[in-house]
Each structure stands twice: as C-alpha cells, then as structure tokens.
Amino acid sequence: MARPFLPLVLLAIIASNAGLAEAAWWDWHGWRHVFRGRYRRAPPQLSSILTEKLYGAMFLHKDDAACPAKGFYSYAAFLRAAARFPGFGASAGHDDADTRRREVAAFLAQISQETTGGWATAPDGPYSWGLCFKEELNPPSSYCDAAAATNTQWACAANKSYHGRGPMQLSWNYNYGPAGEALGFDGLGSPETVAEDPVVAFETALWFWMTPRPPKPSCHDVMAGLYVPDERDAAANRTAGFGLTTNIINGGIECNGGDARADGRVGFYRRYGRILGVRDLGPNLDCAHQLPY
C-alpha cells in the first residue's frame, strides 16, 4: 500500500537497521585478478531461479511513494549487474538447485535488511519492504578512514562522502576505492554513482558478496559450501551458514549476542527461502554465538 509521505518510523529505519557493509581496513589485492575482465556472461541459472514475478513478490513495496528508492532497483538492473558475476548462484561449488536457491535467497535477504523500510506492523509484514532505500539518511560523518587515506592508495577526495549507498549500503573510502577499481567506476572521486546508477549499485553489492577479505571469507563461499574454517574460526565458533554472512557484513555490531538487526536478516531469509522454494535453509542462521572478525 503506497503512502504519500514517509512515516516517522520509516525515517528511522535506515539508521537503525542498516549495517553499512562493515569491513575493517584490508589490503588484499587478489580481487584485482578475481574481478577485472573476468565476468562477461549472465549466470545461466539465475533468471530461472529468480523470475521477475518472484522478484516482485519479494519486494512488494520497493516502488511505493513512501520509499526513497522508488523506481531504482529494477529486476533488469539486477540481472545486468549479475552478468558480471556468473559464479553467483551458479558456480561449480553449487552442486544442487537447492544450494543455488539458498545463496540467492541469502544475498537478497542481506541487502533487504540493509535497505529495509519495514516496521513491525508494516503492511504485508516487516519483511516485504526490502530495497526501500538507496542511500543512508543523515550520515554522521563522511566515512573517510584517516589511516586508509594516509597509508594506502584509497585517499579520500575533497568534499566527497563515503556513506552507505546501494543495496549493500557500501561505506568507507577503503570499500569505495577497491569497488570502483574492480568494477570500472571512480569510487573515490564519484561515490555518488552508487546511488545514481542502479546497475552499478547492484554490482557493488555483488562485488562485496563475492569478494573474500582475509581473514574473512566471501559470503559467496560460505553459502556455496566452499568455506573451510581454520583453527581461529573454530575457536570463535564461526561455523558455516547464513549467520556467518551476517558476521562478515556487520559482525562487529550484530554478533556475539542478540541483536534485532540480525533477527531481521533471518526473517528476510526465511521469507525469501519460502518464495524461492528452498527445501533446507541450512544450519546456523544467526551469529549470536559467534565472535566477530
């Protein structure tokens, strides 16, 4: 049900729920090989797993007047972005259809929590309001990490803000810089591109999902069954499952204890799993008992 104005509860959603694509500064350069010039073909199974009709059923309110991202996150833009990442939902590690569907459901659940406009009594339930926002409201800073700007190549541009943008709410200069270099846009000089071009917006979210940042694995590897925990992971109880992707994205805030945002991620994941016909959502849906990275 469209609303002519943003209710006060909706205005507060993005600040309280978004994880802002957390990642401590990292200096791993393997993504240059992984992403540059490799992704050219559309994932063969993706459009059969996620049809436009199912996409619409998931995001019932993304184009409501109440959502600032109205008209931005189209199905076509998502497929165009996914064409650069044929491993998403379709890699050799996905040995069955349920695993492929599970990864797609997990990714969409995570970006939904990052951009949710839902609340407890929202029409159609709180988990029908993903992709409502494309940009962080009232960011508290420009998200310029001084250490990264001084000691690395990811120097902040003058008068630019690296606050949360796009489906994964990409944030900080040390994420915008590598994302831009990997995807072919000026992440440091024109970070606003992520909130202006829907294909680039989805590409940054998929880039974040597919890219390992040691000691963090990629979310993709976790959901594809490719993650192998080491001794430190075992000691921290960082076991495979949807909960570990939450730990990768925003573990410093949401893991090792109860958190409503982490619960929201699970709520979206359960709903999308039902819509996509996932038979088994897998173990360890939350990260309440995992230590963050």
- Which of 22, 103, 114, 181 is labelled catalytic? 114
What token pair was written down for 172? 């900080």
pLDDT digits (tens, 9 = 90+) for 264-287: 999 999 999 999 999 999 999 999
Beta-bridged to residue 135, according to DSSP, are 165
Q: Would you say residue 67 has pLDDT above 90?
A: yes
Provide the pLDDT for residue 152.
73
Kindly list the structural domains of the chain, giving each domain's residue range(s) and its CATH number in brackets, ordered by start: 8-276 (1.10.530.10)
Share of the chain above pLDDT 70, in %: 83
Provide the pLDDT for residue 22.
58
Task: Please enumerate in sequence order all residues whose Cβ is within 8 A of that of 288, keeping only pairs 6 or more positions apart, or say none.
Answer: 243, 255, 256, 257, 258, 259, 262
DSSP string of 160-182, one letter each residue: -----BTTTTB-SHHHHHHHHHH
Provide the pLDDT for residue 147.
84
- 13 φ, ψ (degrees, to nearest 5): -60, -50
pLDDT digits (tens, 9 = 90+) for 45-54: 899 999 999 9
Does the active-site annotation cover 114? yes
* Lowest-confidence region among 37-41, 128-132, 133-137, 169-173: 37-41
Provide the pLDDT for residue 17.
53
What token pair was written down for 110? 């995570």
Residue 249 identity (one-letter amino acid): I
The answer to whether 109 and 102 are in contact (CB under 8 A) is no
